[in-house]
């Protein structure tokens, strides 16, 4: 089962490779899976946007981002830039991706007070790169370094999860209950 649940002092997130990632309240997240986690902060003079694609192989997907509680305002600024970039893009593929892209913030805090943000993408677009770096760089070429600094300073980890819908099937017949009339 893919999901997020809080356990006594731990956050369990199904990772993109199928194994759960368990974070105790005092642990740092593990290094991201190549192509799945946030990019490392840009070095001075280096490009700000990541080059690793974030693509889905299923009809729906989620991207989880854990955010430092003291940097929530910075992350939400990045989300505002992202949403504006998705709306104003003239790129047909970005416009198509935007149709199924929704952003949620968890009401409950995670271990260590991290704040969980979820990008729910339904439907996904085959072969599309859902990494926000390129979308932001295309929309804000002169400000991308500032925006990316906000992002990398706020995010502590991320995971991409592919989701396949479960098709409804008729339930099996129930066994009669002893002592009850049918």
Segment 114-164, tens digit of pLDDT: 999 999 999 999 889 999 999 999 999 999 999 999 999 999 999 999 999
Model confidence, pTM: 0.67
Instruction: Answer left, alpha or beta for residue 104, where phi above 0 means left and psi between -120 and 50 means alpha.
Output: beta
pLDDT of residue 163: 96
pLDDT of residue 110: 87
pLDDT tops 90 at residue 1: no
- Could you read off the pLDDT of 74-90 as tens digits, one per residue? 999 999 999 999 999 99
pLDDT tops 60 at residue 34: no
- Could you read off the pLDDT of 99-119 as tens digits, one per residue? 999 999 999 998 889 999 999
Q: What is the rounded CA–CA span in Å between residue 105 and residue 7?
A: 19
pLDDT of residue 160: 94
What are the structural domain ranges in the chain? 54-163
What count of residues does the chain have? 182
Look up the CATH architecture of domain 54-163.
Answer: 2-Layer Sandwich (3.30)
Parallel, antiparallel, or unpaired: how do β-strands 115-121 and 20-24 relate?
unpaired
Q: What is the rounded CA–CA span in Å between residue 56 and residue 29?
A: 22
């Amino acid at each position: 089962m893919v999901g997020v649940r809080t356990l006594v002092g731990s956050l369990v997130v199904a990772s993109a490779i199928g194994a759960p990632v368990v974070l105790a309240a005092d642990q740092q997240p593990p290094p991201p899976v190549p192509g799945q986690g946030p990019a490392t902060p840009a070095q001075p003079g280096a490009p700000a946007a990541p080059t690793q694609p974030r693509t889905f192989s299923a009809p729906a997907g989620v991207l989880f981002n854990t955010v430092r509680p003291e940097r929530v305002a910075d992350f939400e600024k990045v989300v505002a830039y992202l949403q504006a970039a998705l709306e104003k893009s003239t790129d047909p593929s970005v416009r198509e991706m935007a149709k199924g892209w929704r952003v949620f913030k968890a009401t409950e805090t995670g271990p260590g007070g991290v704040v969980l943000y979820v990008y729910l993408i339904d439907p996904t677009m085959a072969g599309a790169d859902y990494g926000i770096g390129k979308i932001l760089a295309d929309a804000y070429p002169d400000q991308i370094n500032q925006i990316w600094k906000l992002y990398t300073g706020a995010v502590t980890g991320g995971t991409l999860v592919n989701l396949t819908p479960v098709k409804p099937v008729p339930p099996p017949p129930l066994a009669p209950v002893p002592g009850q009339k049918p």
